[in-house]
């Protein structure tokens, strides 16, 4: 064979090697390109998912702050940078005493100085002190800061308690609360051209007595039974008139704070369910005033719980009524074992607070109200989102 033949063979080999090299180079570069694109896409996806959309308005709320015990959760609340904080009852425990042996006892306040002393203890918690200096606070009370466990209108030092309450929360001398019997109050917030109405009810000062179960507490339930006496009042005539007047004012979202639960009532403890006729009156008032966008915020129960009344049980509702309960600023963990046919999600009995984030939309009814319950270190316990369209009268 001639040398030229072998040269051709060698040339073909070189060409094949060259083609293979080019192919492998292109293939490798393509793989690398796809890999880079995939990594960038995946990184962008993760980054997008981790970015939270800031609300147009954030309200934080909580209740049941045992003033003699540590309250570290205030720093978590500060980290959330709320525009407003609602303290909705048991803001201190003036009715808790320490005897000479260091034992804790609970009894009605008989010395008005006990109110001021309890507020002083609350104010000494650094986290709360920072919150009070930097964030507007609105408040109402429940039984322990009012002065007596489960007390109502019969409590003897309610006016002295109200004076201490107003002074501690810095209500101006010309504020309407200073001339009222009771601490119910309200504010109207302008946000992005929309209106948020915040109403804080007083379920203590005018409340008539509750009915006790003849058999006492059974199966871990509370001691109260629904009353059949429709003459008894929870709010009192003046407060009912005030509430009606406020609900007639224009607002896009209405947050109504009640120290006791509005919707849940099967547990036998204090709730609007103790006086079914008053609960029905509240629901009917929402209809009469055509008040849209109502959400209830409640405390008292030393737990986190979400309840929703769709009108499917014992009372008609204008639209689904949500009751977000946040009660346990410094609550020790315990299991929750009680019935609530209105419950959404799982209850939690542990230290926590909650936020209400409002996200306005171009179409008002597409706006969202987001409830989030948060434990220590801002661990998310539960979140629920409601479209404003769901909180509208059908007519």
Q: Specify whether the CB–CB gap between 73 and 51 falls below 8 A.
A: no
Go through 22-42 and write b for each residue having 16 or more CB atoms within 10 A of its CB, e for each that does not: eeeeeeeeeeeeeeeeeeeee
Burial 193-203 (b: 16+ CB within 10 A, else e): ebebbbbbbbb
Quick: pLDDT tens for 104-121.
999 999 999 999 999 999
Predicted confidence band of residue 297 (pLDDT cuts 50, 70, 90): very high
> Do 187 and 198 touch, CB atoms closer than 8 A?
yes
CA quadruple 101, 106, 112, 116: dihedral sign: positive
pTM over 0.95: no
Q: Note the pLDDT of residue 6.
A: 41
Average pLDDT in the 196-215 region?
97
Strand order in the sheet with 294-298: 185-191, 194-200, 253-258, 294-298, 321-326, 304-309
Q: At 266, list the tokens.
A: 């099967």
SS3 content of the chain, % helix, strand, coil (to 5): 35, 25, 45
Listed residue (317, 293, 307, 335) closest to 191, CA to CA: 293
Residue 262 to residue 270: CA distance in whole angstroms: 10
Task: Report d(CA 252, CA 364) in Å as an integer.
Answer: 8
Which residue, among 229, 235, 181, has the nearest Cα to 203 in the 3D structure?
Answer: 235
The mean pLDDT of the chain is 90
Six-digit token pair at 5? 């033949």
Tokens coding 188? 């109207």
Query: What pLDDT is recorded for position 38?
Result: 44
Rounded to whole angstroms, the Cα distance separating 130 from 108 reads: 30
- H or E segment and range at residue 29: helix 3-50
Taken as a whole, the chain contains a residue count of 395
Whether the pLDDT of residue 214 is over 50: the answer is yes
Helices (H), 221-306: 237-247, 276-288
What is the pLDDT, as a whole number, of residue 40? 37
Q: Is the pLDDT of residue 302 over 60?
A: yes
């Amino acid at each position: 064979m001639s040398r030229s033949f072998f040269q051709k063979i060698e040339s073909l080999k070189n060409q094949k090697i060259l083609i293979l090299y080019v192919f492998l180079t292109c293939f490798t570069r393509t793989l690398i390109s796809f890999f880079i694109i995939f990594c960038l896409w995946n990184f962008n996806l993760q980054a997008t998912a981790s970015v939270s959309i800031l609300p147009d308005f954030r309200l934080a709320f909580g209740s049941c702050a045992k003033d003699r015990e540590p309250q570290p959760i205030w720093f978590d609340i500060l980290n959330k940078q709320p525009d407003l904080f609602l303290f909705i009852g048991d803001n201190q425990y003036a009715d808790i005493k320490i005897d000479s042996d260091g034992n804790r006892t609970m009894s009605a306040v008989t010395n008005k100085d006990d109110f001021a002393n309890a507020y002083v203890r609350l104010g000494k918690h650094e986290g709360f002190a920072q919150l009070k200096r930097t964030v507007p606070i609105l408040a109402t009370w429940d039984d322990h800061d009012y002065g007596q466990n489960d007390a109502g209108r019969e409590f003897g030092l309610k006016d002295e308690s109200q004076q201490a309450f107003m002074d501690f929360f810095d209500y101006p001398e010309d504020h309407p609360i200073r001339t009222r019997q009771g601490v119910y109050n309200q504010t109207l917030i302008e946000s992005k051209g929309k209106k948020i109405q915040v109403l804080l009810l007083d379920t203590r000062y005018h409340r008539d007595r509750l009915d006790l179960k003849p058999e006492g507490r059974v199966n871990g339930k509370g001691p109260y039974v629904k009353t059949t006496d429709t003459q008894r009042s929870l709010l009192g005539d003046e407060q009912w008139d005030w509430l009606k007047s406020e609900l007639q004012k224009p607002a896009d979202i209405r947050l109504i704070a009640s120290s006791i639960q509005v919707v849940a009532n099967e547990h036998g403890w204090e709730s609007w369910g103790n006086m079914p006729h008053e609960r029905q009156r509240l629901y009917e008032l929402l209809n009469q005033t055509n008040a849209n966008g109502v959400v209830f915020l409640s405390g008292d129960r030393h737990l986190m719980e979400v309840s929703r009344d769709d009108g499917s049980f014992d009372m008609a509702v204008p639209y689904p009524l949500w009751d977000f309960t946040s009660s346990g600023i410094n609550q020790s963990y315990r299991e929750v074992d009680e019935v609530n046919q209105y419950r959404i999600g799982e209850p939690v009995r542990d230290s926590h607070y909650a936020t209400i984030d409002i996200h306005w939309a171009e179409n008002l009814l597409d706006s969202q109200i987001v409830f989030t319950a948060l434990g220590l270190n801002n661990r998310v316990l539960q979140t629920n989102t409601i479209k404003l369209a769901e909180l509208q009268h059908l007519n």
